[in-house]
Amino acid sequence: MPFFRRQSLKTQLLVIVFLALLLPAAAMFYDIFFAAKTDDVLIHATDKKLTRIANLVHDQVRRELKSYPGNSQPLEEVFTAVTDPLIKHYPGVRICLYDKDSGDITILGYLHEFGTRLPEEKKERERRIYNETKAGINAVLASGNAISRLGKTYDDQFLERLVPLQINSRTIAVIWAEEMMHPIFARSSRMRLVIRYVILGVFGLGIAASLATIFGLVRRINIIKDGTVKLEQNLNYALPQMPGEMGQITSAINKMARGLIEKEQLIDQYRRSENLIAMGRTITEIAHELRAPVSVIQAAAQAMALNFQDLPRLDEYIQQIDRQVERHSKLINELLDFGRPDPGTIEKMDINELIKSVLTANEPLISKTGIKLNYPSAGHKPLVIQGNAEKLKQVFTNLIINALEAMRQNGVLTIESHAAGEQVAVSVRDTGEGIPPEDLPNIFEPFYTKKAGGNGLGLAICKRIVQIHGGSIEVKSVKGSGSEFIVSLPLYERDVMAVE
Ligand SMILES: Nc1ncnc2c1ncn2[C@@H]1O[C@H](COP(=O)(O)OP(=O)(O)OP(=O)(O)O)[C@@H](O)[C@H]1O
Ligand SMILES: [Mg+2]
């Protein structure tokens, strides 16, 4: 059945029609043109023989009766005398007489060559045989014509030829000869019966198969219908797999839904990048406007420090102004970095050297926090990439500062680099507080921060710089045990000792 269902709908329907119509049609053809013909031939041959015998007996009995008009010899005796010698010549033929006046029956010979199979009384046999032939006798008596008919014994079929015996235009008796039909006749009619049952069975099966196919089709169509309704509400829903044409439809619909999802994502991405570009432009303008007053404040504070040295607590105020000016400068620089997507001057460099210089620059900060640095630089082979060194340094600086901010005194900062296929992967791992899963999708968004003095621009800048270098940045983090940021950049050359 699964094999059948895997076939195309057309094949399925053709097979069903073939089973339901062609096979029964062939059986009927055989029944009409062969089986019936065989019967005709058989009946015709037997009928010819029985007609000859019945006529012979009839003619002789009639002659006997006519040649002695005053003959008082009973009809039964004349019939027996005429028929007896014939019986030996025609084994299996039974010749009988029905005396209309007395209602007596005389039977000579047996249908079965070895005599009756059941021991039965003579009278009983006569009654049975009369009952079997009664319809024929009555028909002959009523019409006055000879007839042939098929009769049935308790276990078989026979053919009989009945002839009226007429004396002076009056039917006084019926003479008949009968013989079992050839066994092939019974077999062929049994065969026809079997064929009819087979035809019926095949018809039934055909109808059942058609109904099953139709119900199956309807069920699958309903699944598709319900599925499309669900798809309308949720494009991520997938219609179930199915065999045959229905399966092709469901896969086509699923493919279409996936295409729509991809398209929506692309449109979303496009909108976001458009927004980022627009935002970048605005941010750069604002940052430029902010830079001038901050520089003036810084210069004024420095002038105050020189000219009013004697004023009490001036140092304290000047330091406060410096701290705030520094914060503002940092914000302005970050804003300018974020707003300017241009990668600047591109050069070849060994990423390991770049990381070393970042670590050297941040050494005072790292040692101040008491955090252990784990940078297995020994045996480092150069991993050459192409890019803007200043911008890439900023990426690793931001990641290192975030890691330091996430850890307490006894934390460990691990930095590793290796080539992975056509890429260089640099991992910055800390043992800090980790990032809750619900925050992970947002940390690269501009202005997303969970820190009191944070601008939320560090990771947004990292992502931008890495992207304009043709790379990517990903994060793995477990809340409470640490985070790992992996920066992947296209590898320019591997194992090059000298970098220009
Ligand atoms: N290593 C880290 N461990 C834990 N949380 C982190 C880590 N790095 C980033 N985060 C989280 O991601 C947020 C965004 O980081 P991002 O560097 O963009 O901004 P920020 O550090 O808050 O501010 P700034 O603009 O000063 O860098 C942080 O506020 C922090 O919650
Ligand atoms: Mg940061």
pLDDT in tens, 358-380: 999 999 889 888 899 999 876 67
pLDDT for 333 equals 84
CB-ligand 1 contact for 333 (6 Å cutoff): no
Statement to judge: residues 124 and 257 lie in one domain:
no
Q: Are residues 393 and 303 in the same domain?
A: no
Share of the chain above pLDDT 90, in %: 44
Q: What does the pLDDT read at residue 272?
A: 81
Q: Does 146 fall in a domain?
A: yes
CB 433 near ligand 1, within 6 Å:
yes
In a domain, 215, yes or no: no
What does the pLDDT read at residue 19? 77
Q: Are residues 70 and 34 in the same domain?
A: yes
* 362 in the same domain as 332: no
CA dist 393 and 347 (Å) reads 13
Q: Is 431 in the pocket of ligand 1 (CB under 6 A)?
A: no
| pLDDT value at residue 168 | 84
Nearest atom (ligand 1) to Cα of 459? 18
Q: Do both 351 and 333 map to the same domain?
A: no
Whether 443 is in the pocket of ligand 1, judged by its Cβ within 6 Å, is yes
pLDDT of residue 203: 77
Residue to probe by mutation, ligand 1, list 333, 413, 443, most atoms within 8 Å of CB: 443
Q: How far is the CA of 462 from the centre of ligand 1 (A)?
A: 11
Binding site membership of 375 for ligand 1 (Cβ less than 6 Å): no
CATH code (residue 470): 3.30.565.10
Q: What is residue 226's predicted lDDT score, i.e. its pLDDT?
A: 93
- Residue 298 resides in a domain: yes
Closest of 387, 403, 386, 390 to residue 459, by C-alpha: 403
The residue from 283, 315, 337 where one domain ends is 337
- The answer to whether residue 224 sits within a structural domain is no
Q: Is 457 in the pocket of ligand 1 (CB under 6 A)?
A: yes
Alpha-carbon distances, residue 7 vs 10, 15, 21, 66, 193 (angstroms): 8, 10, 20, 82, 35
Question: Looking at the structure, do residues 121 and 41 belong to the same domain, yes or no?
Answer: yes
How many whole angstroms from 388 Cα to the centroid of ligand 1? 23
Does ligand 1 have an atom closer than 6 angstroms to the CB of 411?
Answer: no
Q: Would the CB of 263 count as within 6 Å of ligand 1?
A: no
Q: Are residues 149 and 298 in the same domain?
A: no
Q: What pLDDT, on a 0 to 100 scale, did the predictor assign at position 338?
A: 79
Q: Is the CB of 449 under 6 A from ligand 1?
A: yes
In this structure, the answer to whether residues 292 and 351 fall within a common structural domain is no
Report the candidate in 176, 212, 162, 249 with the shortest Cα–Cα distance to residue 13. Answer: 212
**Block means of pLDDT (10 residues each) for the chain, length 500 residues?**
73 77 76 72 89 95 77 84 91 92 90 60 85 93 93 79 91 93 70 79 82 85 92 90 88 93 92 82 84 88 87 88 88 81 85 94 90 81 91 94 91 93 94 95 92 89 92 95 96 59
Which ligand minimizes its atom distance to the CA of 484? 1
* Residue 8 located in a structural domain: yes
Residue 229's pLDDT is: 93
In angstroms, the CA 194 to CA 198 distance is 6
Q: Are 243 and 8 in contact (CB under 8 A)?
A: no
Give me ligand 1 centre to Cα 419, in Å. 27
Q: Is 456 in the pocket of ligand 1 (CB under 6 A)?
A: yes
155 is a domain residue: yes
Residues facing 106 on adjacent strands: 97
Residues 23, 71: one domain?
A: yes
Range of the domain at 113: 2-189
**Nearest ligand atom owner, CA of 371:** 1
Nearest atom (ligand 1) to Cα of 434:
4
Sequence letter at residue 431: T
Kindly give the distance from the C-alpha atom of residue 392 to the centroid of ligand 2, in angstroms, as a whole number.
15
Q: Is 369 in the pocket of ligand 1 (CB under 6 A)?
A: no
Please state the domain count of the chain.
Answer: 3
- Which of 396, 429, 449 to mutate for ligand 1's pocket (most ligand atoms within 8 Å of CB)? 449
Q: Is the CB of 444 under 6 A from ligand 1?
A: no
Instruction: Give the number of whichever ligand sits closest to the CA of residue 475.
Output: 1
**149 and 280 housed in the same domain:** no
State the closest ligand 1 atom to the C-alpha of 457, by its place in the atom list counted from 1. 25
- For residue 347, the CA-to-ligand 2 centroid distance in Å is 26
386 and 346 in contact (C-beta within 8 Å)? yes
Residue 90 in contact with ligand 1 by CB distance below 6 A: no
For residue 404, the CA-to-ligand 2 centroid distance in Å is: 10
CATH number of the domain where residue 284 is located: 1.10.287
State the distance from the centre of ligand 2 to the C-alpha of 435, rounded, in angstroms: 13
Last residue of a domain, one of 159, 189, 219: 189
Residue 85 sits in a domain whose CATH number is 3.30.450.20
Ligand 1 center to 367 CA (angstroms): 21
Residue 214 domain flag: no
Which of residues 148, 174, 189 is at a domain's end?
189
What per-residue string of b and e applies to 113-145 under the rule 16 or more CB within 10 Å gives b? eeeeeeeeeeeeebeebbebbeebbeebeeeee
Atom of ligand 1 nearest to the CA of 428: 1
Hey, which of 336, 402, 478, 483 would you mutate to test ligand 1's pocket, going by the most ligand atoms within 8 Å of its Cβ?
A: 402
Pair 308, 376 in one domain: no
Q: Do 87 and 136 fall into the same domain?
A: yes
Please tell me the residue having the least CA distance from ligand 1 atom 28. 449
With respect to residue 229, please indicate whether it lies within any of the assigned structural domains: no
